[in-house]
């Protein structure tokens, strides 16, 4: 899609038949199960600054869920260092695996191909499930992992889609262009949920809405991610040359089980960013009340999804999405194969949503989940407020391929696949060959004993005969030609010392 993008997913974790579980301890131990023979957290936090705001200032503090204070108090009693609690690992496929706020989190490597990203997102599921199997064997009880976004008790955890984009675009222009899209994207990117929820817990059980995260947004724009969440997040961590790039840190989306929904969510967003960079998105797209609209669209039982624009006119989410689509068809058509795939499928999906959403049960998570729940309600004679449905809702997101309801649909051939199991298996072990993730993953694979630390945009090595470590910056590797150059030199270098020397000579 002509830009780097990736997905960060926090997973729900619990133990089978256990009512009280320490999620921090279980997350730490799960991650340690990835590589018990050499568990050495190597993540370098020195260049991370979640307080830096894209609007040009640094926040004094970040808002946290009230329960986070209890987690912090418990952490002080664990006799573990910050690094041990985070258990932060970089994997040889270029991905990151760590404990984030009582959830195991998997961040895909940077990708520039849509289907490559889908494979790496699914690779994250498989890697975490492998860890769960190892941990279960050690515990003597099953560790259960869920790729969802809510626990029905007032807690929501994230799935963040990230996009590298031009720093030249003023933030106000980015906000104006992306806000209406983010609010309406849920009609095909939502994963569905039983009930309405606030930070205090479930307020209405007998209800099905199309998205899991929409209940949890309370401000339009903010640097926060855990409490008083914004629709548009302003964290300014480009992990690339800050003079050239910013990173759109999208926290508004659900964690998709469907490969198709993941591709459509990320692909359409990438094209909308293209339009914003080209200054193609008109001002009349602005919404009158985005916070009201994002919840009402998710909860609308008629699937008309209507709301007011800032100019006072009424419009449907489908029609506003069609406006974005029309701009993309006019200005972006024919750029690349995956761009053309997105344009075709975007239009097809909007047509089906307008005609009959049930036709999309093989592609969209919320439609598939609702079909499963309605089938179960009919068979068992239940009502929508039966607590059993919450359990079934959760099991849709179980990443165990032998137990999860989504994977039952997949095994029955009832959902559309975009990547093969062989491609997912390859993504478990190999980084994307055409991005800087290759340099990160292969450096670890070839020279693990001499890797001191890693960040998204640098690798630090201990060199023989040198007292001080040497850092290789990948800051410029957001550029495809620079990434190819560094990756080629890495392949040709047999030692770390030769790698550093060859990179220096190539400048």
Q: Which of 233, 264, 221 is nearest to 418 (CA)?
A: 264
What is the overall mean pLDDT for the chain?
93
Last residue of a domain, one of 409, 425, 441: 425
Last residue of a domain, one of 425, 442, 475: 425
Identified catalytic residue from 100, 215, 393, 457:
100
Of 83-87, 104-108, 418-422, the range with the lowest mean pLDDT is: 83-87
Bridge partners, 99 (sequence order): 104
Instruction: Report the domain count for the chain.
Output: 2
> Do 457 and 332 fall into the same domain?
no
> Do 438 and 303 fall into the same domain?
no
> Do 209 and 174 fall into the same domain?
yes
Of 126-135, 259-268, 357-366, 460-469, the range with the lowest mean pLDDT is: 460-469
CA separation (Å) from 484 to 90, 434, 438, 478?
Answer: 21, 6, 9, 10
DSSP 242: T
**How much of the chain exceeds pLDDT 90, in percent?**
81
Q: Which of 189, 160, 116 is nearest to 8 (CA)?
A: 160
Is 100 catalytic? The answer is yes
> Do 97 and 131 fall into the same domain?
yes
> Do 290 and 419 fall into the same domain?
yes
Whether the per-residue pLDDT at 380 is higher than 70: the answer is yes
> Do 214 and 347 fall into the same domain?
yes
* Dist CA 396 CA 480 (whole Å): 38
The H-assigned helical ranges of 163-205 are 171-189
> Do 339 and 463 fall into the same domain?
no
Segment 404-420, tens digit of pLDDT? 999 999 999 999 999 99
CATH of the domain at 254: 3.30.590
* Dist CA 274 CA 498 (whole Å): 39
Structural domain harbouring 472: 433-505
Q: What is the pLDDT of residue 206?
A: 83
Spell out the residues 6+ positions from residue 118 whose beta carbon is closer than 8 angstroms to its own.
Answer: 259, 262, 263, 418, 419
> Do 453 and 382 fall into the same domain?
no
Per-residue pLDDT band at 39 (split at 50, 70, 90): low
State pTM to two decimals. 0.95
Last residue of a domain, one of 375, 399, 425: 425
Q: What is the pLDDT of residue 46?
A: 82
DSSP character string of 60-84: S-----HHHHHHHHHHTTTT--HHH
Cβ 181 vs Cβ 289: under 8 Å: no
Of 98-102, 253-257, 266-270, the range with the lowest mean pLDDT is: 98-102
Q: What is the pLDDT of residue 337?
A: 83
> Do 439 and 410 fall into the same domain?
no
- State the distance between the two ends of the chain, measured CA to CA, in whole angstroms: 28
CA 151 to chain CA centroid, nearest Å = 18
Whether the per-residue pLDDT at 369 is higher than 90: the answer is yes
Spell out the residues 6+ positions from residue 162 whose beta carbon is closer than 8 angstroms to its own.
Answer: 5, 6, 7, 8, 247, 248, 249, 250
CA dihedral sign, ordered 348, 349, 351, 357: positive
> Do 333 and 473 fall into the same domain?
no
> Do 464 and 501 fall into the same domain?
yes
Q: What is the pLDDT of residue 77?
A: 72
| Strand 217-222 relative to strand 229-233, pairing | parallel
> Do 226 and 273 fall into the same domain?
yes
| Phi, psi (degrees; rounded to nearest 5) at 273 | -65, -40
């Amino acid at each position: 899609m002509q830009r780097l993008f990736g997905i960060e997913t926090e997973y729900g974790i619990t133990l089978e038949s256990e009512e009280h579980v320490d999620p921090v301890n279980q997350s730490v131990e799960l991650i340690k199960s990835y590589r018990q023979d050499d568990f050495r957290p190597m993540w370098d936090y020195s260049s991370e600054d979640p307080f830096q705001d894209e609007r040009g200032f640094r926040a004094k503090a970040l808002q946290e869920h009230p329960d986070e204070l209890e987690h912090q108090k418990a952490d002080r009693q664990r006799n573990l260092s910050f690094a041990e609690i985070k258990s932060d690992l970089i994997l040889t496929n270029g991905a990151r695996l760590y404990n984030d706020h009582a959830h195991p989190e998997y961040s895909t490597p940077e990708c520039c191909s849509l289907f490559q990203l889908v494979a790496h997102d699914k690779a994250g599921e498989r890697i975490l499930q492998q860890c769960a199997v190892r941990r279960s064997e050690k515990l003597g009880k099953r560790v259960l992992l869920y790729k969802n976004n809510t626990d029905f008790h007032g807690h929501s955890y994230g799935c963040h889609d990230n996009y590298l984009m031009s720093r030249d675009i003023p933030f106000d222009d980015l906000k104006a262009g992306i806000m209406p899209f983010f609010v309406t994207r849920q009609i095909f990117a939502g994963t569905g949920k039983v009930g309405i929820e606030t930070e205090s817990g479930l307020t209405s059980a007998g209800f099905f809405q199309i998205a899991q995260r929409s209940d949890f947004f309370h401000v339009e724009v903010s640097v926060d991610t855990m409490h008083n969440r914004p629709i548009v997040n302003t964290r300014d961590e480009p992990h690339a040359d800050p003079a050239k790039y910013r990173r759109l840190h999208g926290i508004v989306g659900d964690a998709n089980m469907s490969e198709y929904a993941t591709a459509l969510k990320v692909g359409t967003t990438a094209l909308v960013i293209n339009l914003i960079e080209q200054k193609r998105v008109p001002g009349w797209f602005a919404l009158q009340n985005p916070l009201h609209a994002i919840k009402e669209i998710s909860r609308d039982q008629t699937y008309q999804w209507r709301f007011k624009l800032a100019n006072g006119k009424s419009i449907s989410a489908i029609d506003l999405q069609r406006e974005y689509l029309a701009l993309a068809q006019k200005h972006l058509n024919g750029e690349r194969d995956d761009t053309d795939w997105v344009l075709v499928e975007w239009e097809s999906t909007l047509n089906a949503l307008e005609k009959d959403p049930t036709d999309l049960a093989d592609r969209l998570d919320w439609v598939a989940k609702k079909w499963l729940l309605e089938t179960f309600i009919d068979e068992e004679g239940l009502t929508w407020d039966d607590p059993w449905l919450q359990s079934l809702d959760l099991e849709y997101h179980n990443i165990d391929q032998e137990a999860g309801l989504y994977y039952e649909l997949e095994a029955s051939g009832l959902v559309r696949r975009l990547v093969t199991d062989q491609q997912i298996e390859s993504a478990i072990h190999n980084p994307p060959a055409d991005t800087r993730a290759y340099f990160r993953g292969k450096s670890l694979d070839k020279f693990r004993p001499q890797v001191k630390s890693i960040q998204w945009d640098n690798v630090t090595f201990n060199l023989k005969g040198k007292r001080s470590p040497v850092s290789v910056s990948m800051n410029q590797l957001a550029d495809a030609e620079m990434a190819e150059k560094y990756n080629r030199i890495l392949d040709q270098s047999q030692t770390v010392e030769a790698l550093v020397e060859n990179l220096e000579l190539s400048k």
